[in-house]
Amino acid sequence: VSDIAADQIYSGGLSNTAEHLILKDSSGNIIDEVDCSSGWFISLNRGESMERMNPAGDGSDSSNWAKNNGVERNGLDANGTPINGTPKAQNSVFIGSGGGDTGVVTSSITLTLSTKIFYPMGDVLGKPSTVQILWNVPTGTVLNLKVFNLKGSSVRILVKNKDINTSQDGSSGVLWDGKDNSGNTLPPGIYIVYLEVLNTDTGKRDVVKKCIVIGRKL
């Protein structure tokens, strides 16, 4: 990374297939650990970064990792090209601890999901087959709402460049049926609902993310 100074330089090399990483303090106490001894959790292309979703979560839990979403990036490579990573900045797939709550608030922006898990195939009696995604954002903003998989790929664009001109627009939402942009039902797994709000006056951009699980009857 050409434009961001490193806090520490690691002189060794990392395997392209698997590693078991342990971070210790000066007294030898383990601070953090990522056990990928059976293989890296995420398959990456050259120039992509594997990012931790919840810093407080288990570093050796494969479901707590995803690749950079390609939208939020920080830093340039030796050729001055933006890297697909976020050194010294919040990870692009950051979701926080969540505390089990389906609502997330960032400044004056609220993102709420009607359920934590839903079953688009409708194969589980009494369980929801859709999820209602609600937002509360200020007027004078532009809203985008997408869904990403854990590989960092955008799988569904739910709202694109929506102008929020009235309070009614600012307190609204959409219903997601668990399908991708091609109309295919997505496979079971964890997905990230990604809300981006741009203030047209100040240029400030706020992002709120929340996990949702697509389930299927075993």
Question: What is the residue extent of each domain of the chain?
Answer: 1-96, 103-214
Write down the pTM of the prediction: 0.59
pLDDT of residue 20: 94
141-164 tens-digit pLDDT: 999 999 999 888 899 999 999 999
190-209 tens-digit pLDDT: 999 999 998 888 888 888 88
Domain 103-214 has CATH 2.70.160.11: no
Q: Which of 215, 204, 200 is nearest to 116 (CA)?
A: 215
How is residue 188 written in tokens? 């079971």
53-79 tens-digit pLDDT: 877 678 888 888 888 887 788 888 888
Q: Tell me the three state secondary structure of residue 51.
A: strand
18-58 tens-digit pLDDT: 999 998 877 887 888 999 999 998 888 877 888 888 776 78
Residue 96 pLDDT level (bands cut at 50, 70, 90): low
One-letter amino acid identity for 115? T
On whether the CB atoms of residues 129 and 120 are closer than 8 A, the answer is yes
Give the whole-angstrom CA distance, residue 195 versus residue 20: 34
pLDDT of residue 66: 87
Position 98 pLDDT exceeds 80: no
CB neighbour list of residue 198: distance below 8 Å, 6 or more residues apart = 141, 142, 143, 144, 204, 205
Where on the phi/psi map is residue 152: left (φ > 0), alpha (ψ -120 to 50), or beta? left
